[in-house]
């Protein structure tokens, strides 16, 4: 694993342990070149998912992007980070078990809303209000940038 700080390729694993109830392995890594420390997570990837936007464009599913939008919706909410990780893994597992590798972005949005609704009402409202505005445009990047706490009125 390449060091994210200096680019050195040969980093060392200092510690490995199960995380997220054994859904992933958390590894603490150390870079002997610059002394940098970082963490990686290893997860099962059942298949490569492709997101189909409403304009028909295809895009590789990006777990980080999904995670970003969910974390923004949950900002300053009293939810444990570990619970958020579990929730995101749960969503990804659901997507992977749909039996299709091509998934409409709309379906992903609905699964996220369903999950958020069970966990935190405020986060759900934040996500849903922004999501509904962007359903037509279906531009996820724009959607994520719009989904900032100061762009919502949920907590005011």
Residue 37 CB, shortest distance to Zn ion, in Å, is 9
Q: Which of 19, 24, 29, 31 binds Zn ion (CB under 5 A)?
A: 31
Phi-psi region of 139 (alpha: psi -120 to 50; beta: other; left: phi over 0): beta
Size of the site for Zn ion (CB under 5 A): 8
Q: Which of 1, 13, 33, 98 binds Zn ion (CB under 5 A)?
A: 33
Residue 28 CB, shortest distance to Zn ion, in Å, is 14
User: Under a CB-based contact definition with an 8 Å cutoff, are residues 60 and 45 in contact?
Assistant: no
User: Under a CB-based contact definition with an 8 Å cutoff, are residues 57 and 142 in contact?
Assistant: no
Angle 9-14-17 from CA coordinates, rounded to 5°: 115
Pick the closer one to Zn ion by CB: 9 or 136: 9
Q: Tokens 């909410």 correspond to what residue?
A: 77
Q: Considering only residues 111-140, where is the footprint of Zn ion by CB under 5 A?
A: none
Q: Which residues bind Zn ion (CB under 5 A)?
A: 3, 5-6, 8, 31, 33-34, 36
């Amino acid at each position: 694993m390449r060091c994210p700080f200096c680019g050195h390729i040969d980093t060392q694993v200092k510690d490995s342990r199960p995380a997220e109830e054994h859904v992933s392995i958390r590894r603490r890594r150390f870079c002997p070149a610059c002394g940098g420390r970082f963490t990686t997570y290893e997860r099962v990837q059942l298949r490569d998912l492709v997101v189909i936007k409403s304009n028909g464009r295809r895009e590789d599913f990006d777990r980080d992007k999904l995670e970003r939008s969910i974390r923004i919706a949950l900002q300053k909410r009293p939810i444990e980070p570990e619970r958020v990780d579990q929730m995101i893994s749960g969503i990804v597992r659901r997507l992977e078990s749909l039996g299709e590798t091509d998934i409409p972005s709309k379906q992903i949005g609905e699964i996220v809303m369903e999950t958020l609704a069970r966990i935190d009402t405020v986060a759900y409202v934040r996500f849903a209000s922004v999501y509904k505005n962007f359903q037509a445009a279906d531009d996820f990047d724009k959607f994520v940038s719009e989904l900032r706490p100061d762009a919502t009125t949920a907590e005011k």
